[in-house]
Chain A
Amino acid sequence: MNQAPSPNLADPAPSPHDALQTQDGRASAPLLTVRSAVYSYGSELALQGANLQLAPGEILAVTGPSGSGKSTLMLVAAGVLAPTAGQVIFNGRVISDDSEGERSRLRRTEFGVLFQFGQLVPELTAGENVALPLLLDGAKRQQARAAAGLWLERFGVADLIDVRPPDMSGGQSQRVAAARAMVTEPSVLFADEPTGALDTMSGEAVMREIVRVAREAGTGVMLITHDAKVAAYGDREVLVRDGTTNELSINLRNGDDR
């Protein structure tokens, strides 16, 4: 029997443990699946049989100590790295066998990526930064600008549209970066330590918006973090240790140990 965590505020709520259940309990087909993925950097094995499943609108926290392979797992899931063995399946189609060109196109249209440091282009305004992925994909300037305005507004930074990154706070530029990651309306958002460089309140604001956007737009979010407080924004948690994944289903496990 596990010890009950002591700061008790209320009855424990039931939670979705089934990989294919979204937060409101609807069953849905997985959006993204990583199956028995293996990856090595030269002779160093970074992933040795990692698995995960992500449903539409679901926020999956991927946690583990530094060097556990969680960032490699994200790069494999996002099609940046092709696994040495195993599969990545997106919307029912195996994408890990695709050419780099095909995977790159998929990344532009279906996936959004948000890193610890927003990586905005410092010479461009927030509006131009956010419009950039659409322009690169051939959208008309006016259309891209309108979409950028909309996403900046969703992340609560519409007033920064003409401001350049050097004139923004860390929390502001991370919200702009999040708007840029979402402007193509991706099916999956990969967020690698999205609050790592922010103070508590700014980090909270960014996470609050990511959760809201995931719920509203049905985006699946793969949230990579070493911080349990950030992982708690997820619906589920997958633990990566020594290149393998482990999801603990508490209810089931507690049921059979007494």
Chain B
Amino acid sequence: MSTGHVLMGLLANADRHGYDLKHEHDARFPASRPLAFGQVYAALERLGKKGFVGATEVENADGPNRTVYRLTDEGRRELDDWLRRTEEPSPFVANPFAVKTTLALLAADRDTAIDFMDRQRATHLERMRELTRRKLDPDSSLSNVLAADFALAHLDADVRWLESALERITHLEQEVQP
């Protein structure tokens, strides 16, 4: 997901300073990595070259002039296209738990593999409890609840994988060490 499209989305309803864009992004998407100012300005410059955003210098009584960015009609069309495009499903090919389980069977033994999977599950559950507590906190914003839902669903998928791998451990062992 490009930073440019995200910034265009945030510019859709109001013209903003780069500074405001950064703060609005970080507040709305608490689970995303906070944007660096440099990243924001670099993306705005790229959008400007493509004609998707326009910049206006605004006088500032307290200091240097500030630049206000606005979405152009062309930018609006690009944003609408982007909003309708689906994202590529994550491939999830790199499964660190599968790699470690296989290596545990190869380099150590079945007990080591089972012990790893059990403790990995416990580690995941610990994080899931923390996210659930955050969801239950009456002060949590809806953005935080949605971010927690997303994280919980993915951690739950890992836990399900660990459970099924545990059920298949005997076959897995035979395949790894025939």
Contact = CB atoms under 8 A, between A and B. Distances in A.
Contact of B131 (A4, A232, A234, A239): A232
Contacts of B116: 2
B78 to A, nearest CB: 30
A7 B53 CA distance: 32
B124 interface: yes
Contacts of A254: 119, 123
B97 to A, nearest CB: 7
Contacts of A7: 31, 127, 150-151, 154-155
Nearest to A4: B123
Contact of A232 (B125, B154, B158, B160): B125
Contacts of B118: 239, 246, 248
A248 B127 contact: no
Contacts of B158: 5
A233 interface: yes
Nearest to A59: B129
A208 B134 CA distance: 12
B126 interface: yes
Main secondary structure of the interface of A (DSSP, over half): loop
6 contacts: A3-B97, A12-B126, A15-B130, A234-B129, A248-B119, A254-B123
Nearest to B155: A5
A136 interface: no
Contacts of A229: 128, 132, 152-153, 156
B177 to A, nearest CB: 23
B120 interface: yes
B147 interface: yes
B147 to A, nearest CB: 6
Interface in A221-258: 227-229, 231-235, 237, 239, 246, 248, 250, 253-254
A9 B155 contact: no
B100 interface: yes
Interface of B: 30-31, 96-97, 100, 116, 118-134, 136, 147-148, 150-156, 158-160, 163, 167
Interface of A: 2-10, 12-13, 15, 65, 208, 211, 227-229, 231-235, 237, 239, 246, 248, 250, 253-254
A211 B132 CA distance: 11
A239 B129 CA distance: 15
A13 B130 contact: yes
A114 B118 CA distance: 28
A250 B119 contact: yes
Query: Which of B30, B125, B148, B167 gathers the greatest number of chain A CB atoms within 10 Å?
Result: B125
B175 to A, nearest CB: 22
A232 B150 CA distance: 14
Given A3-B120, A228-B160, A250-B119, A15 B128 contact: no
A9 B160 contact: no
Contacts of A8: 151
A65 B163 contact: yes
Given A5-B158, A211-B136, 15 more contacts: A2-B123, A3-B96, A3-B120, A5-B124, A7-B154, A7-B155, A9-B131, A9-B134, A12-B126, A15-B126, A15-B129, A15-B130, A228-B159, A232-B152, A248-B119
B157 to A, nearest CB: 10
A43 B116 CA distance: 33
B57 to A, nearest CB: 39
B150 A231 contact: no
Contacts of B120: 2-3
